[in-house]
């Protein structure tokens, strides 16, 4: 109950208009300052998603590594890794490997819903915080479209689905890249609105005419 109350209070603070809006320079410095904690949060949620997925299908998590290093099990440098035992069946393995992308999609979908319905926080600090978080989730979602290593989670999913050559993977990669580019455009508009001199929200009319009635 206390955690829920604190969360609601934080959301209310982010949504309320700020008494003195920050300068663009202050926003840039603050955004850079948020990069490291956002990275830590991203790795935690990425590996945590693997762990939760393993738990959901009845597997046992034997190691949850949340900082960069060389994975002793495959020799590859990774930002984090999750080791499990008792993961049976292709479906369970694909769910385990793809779990972070589900998390990314859910958070990016929530951000997009806020943006297209003109429900972003009224003050620039709140907007900045949400933009930084959304950008981190986008990076985690998009990066695998251009990663070709055999230890990569998405490549392992492709192989399990019978896409064992880059030519066979090309349509899936193209779709992944197209979705990533589309979401990047929305993120660009969010950043543009944050730094716009005119703080009147215009994003709904620009990117979602169906919602605004403008065609």
Of 26-30, 67-71, 99-103, give the lowest mean pLDDT range. 67-71
Please check whether residue 59 lies inside any domain of the structure: yes
Instruction: Answer yes or no: is pLDDT of 36 > 60.
Output: yes
- Percent helix, strand, coil in the chain, to 5, is 65, 5, 25
Does the reported pTM lie above 0.85? no
Q: Is a pLDDT exceeding 50 seen at residue 207?
A: no
- Domain-embedded: residue 177: yes
What's the pLDDT at 211? 30
Q: What pLDDT is attached to residue 20? A: 65
147 within a domain of the structure (yes/no)? yes
The answer to the question of residue 4 being in a domain is: no
pLDDT at 214: 33
Per residue in 158-180, pLDDT tens?
Answer: 999 999 899 999 999 999 999 99
Inside any domain, residue 215: no
> Where in the sequence is the domain holding 124, given as residue range(s)?
23-202
- DSSP string over 149-200: -TTSHHHHHHHHTT--SHHHHHHHHHHHHHHHHHHHHHHHHHHHHHH-S--S
In a domain, 182, yes or no: yes
On the question of pLDDT at 40 being above 60, the answer is yes
Instruction: Name which of 60-64, 147-151, 171-175 the model is least confident about.
Output: 147-151
Residue 9 lies in a domain: no
Mean pLDDT of the region 67-92? 87
Residue 62 burial (10 A CB sphere; 0-12, 13-18, 19+): exposed
Looking at per-residue pLDDT, the higher value among 43 and 69 belongs to 43
Domain count, the chain: 1
């Amino acid at each position: 109950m206390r955690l829920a109350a604190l969360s609601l209070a934080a959301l209310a603070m982010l949504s309320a208009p700020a008494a003195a809006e920050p300068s663009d320079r202050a926003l840039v410095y603050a955004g850079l300052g948020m990069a490291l904690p956002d990275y830590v949060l991203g790795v935690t949620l990425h590996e945590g998603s693997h762990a939760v997925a393993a738990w959901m299908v009845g597997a046992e998590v034997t190691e949850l590594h949340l900082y960069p290093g060389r994975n002793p099990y495959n020799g590859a440098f990774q930002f984090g890794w999750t080791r499990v035992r008792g993961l049976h069946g292709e479906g369970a393995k694909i769910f385990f490997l793809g779990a972070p992308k589900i998390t990314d999609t859910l958070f990016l979908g929530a951000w997009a819903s806020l943006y297209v319905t003109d429900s972003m926080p009224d003050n620039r600090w709140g907007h900045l915080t949400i933009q930084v978080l959304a950008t981190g989730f986008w990076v985690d979602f998009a990066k695998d479209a251009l990663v070709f290593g055999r230890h990569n989670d998405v490549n392992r999913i492709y192989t399990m689905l019978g896409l064992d050559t880059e030519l066979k993977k090309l349509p899936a990669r193209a779709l992944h890249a197209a979705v990533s580019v589309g979401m990047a455009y929305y993120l660009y508009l969010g950043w543009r609105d944050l730094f716009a001199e005119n703080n009147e929200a215009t994003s709904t009319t620009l990117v979602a005419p169906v919602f605004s009635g403008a065609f």
